[in-house]
Amino acid sequence: MSEIPLRPVRPDDAPWIVAQHQALYAANDGFDDSFGPLVAGIVEDFFASHTPDCEQGWIAEHRGRSVGCIFCVRLDGDTARLRLFLVLPDCRGQGLGRRLLDTCLDFARSAGYRRLQLWTHESHRAACALYRAAGFTLVSSRPVHSFGCDLVEQSWEIAL
C-alpha cells in the first residue's frame, strides 16, 4: 500500500469517526453503547467551537476511504490533548499511526503548546508502545469501570 495521504478533518467526517470508534472499541475491548455518545460529544464540541490556529484534526484517506484519524485540542494556553486517535485494523503496521501521531505533535509544537497529553487504556498495547517510542511518559494509571468494562485507565504526557 502506498503512503496514505492525510487531510484536515471536515464536519462530514463526524459520522465515520463516531461509528468507527464505537465499532472498534466494542469489537476489540467489549465497550458498551455508552462509548459512541462520548465520542459524538467530543466531535460535536470540536466542530462547534474549535479554533483552527490551536486545534486541528486529520483524516487518513486511502482511495477515497477514511482509514484513520487524530485530533489535537486545546486544554489551556500551554497544554493540548491528543484525542480520537484511530487506525483501521487493515491499515495498521505500515507506519500510518506514527505519521498521524507525528502530524499531531508537529501541529501542537507549531501552535505553541508546551505539553501534549492523552488518555488511553492499558489494553491498547500497540498505541502505548507508539506513545513511549515518540517520547511520551506514562503519568498515571488506575483501575476503573467504564463503558461496561473493567479497564486500566492511563494518562500520558510529552513535553514539546
Q: Is residue 67 part of a domain?
A: yes
In a domain, 157, yes or no: no
Q: Residue 160 to residues 28, 49, 78, 119, 152: CA-CA distances in angstroms?
A: 31, 24, 10, 17, 26
Range of the domain at 108: 6-115
The reply to whether 19 falls in a domain is yes
CATH of the domain at 65: 3.40.630.30
Reading the chain (160 residues) residue by residue, the pLDDT tens digits are 468 999 999 999 999 999 999 999 999 889 899 999 999 999 999 999 999 999 999 999 999 999 999 999 999 999 999 999 999 999 999 999 999 999 999 999 999 999 999 999 888 888 999 999 999 999 999 998 989 888 899 999 999 9
Domain membership of residue 96 (yes or no) is yes
Residue 149 lies in a domain: no
Taking the model in full, what pTM does it have? 0.94
User: Are 99 and 131 contacting, i.e. CB atoms less than 8 angstroms apart?
Assistant: no
Grid cell listed for 129: 508502545
The domain total for the chain is 1
Q: Tell whether 137 is covered by a domain.
A: no
pLDDT in tens, 63-81: 999 999 999 999 999 999 9
Residue 107 lies in a domain: yes
What pLDDT was estimated at residue 2? 60
Kindly state whether residue 120 falls inside one of the protein's structural domains. Answer: no
Neighbouring C-alpha atoms within 13 Å toward the C-beta of 127: 21
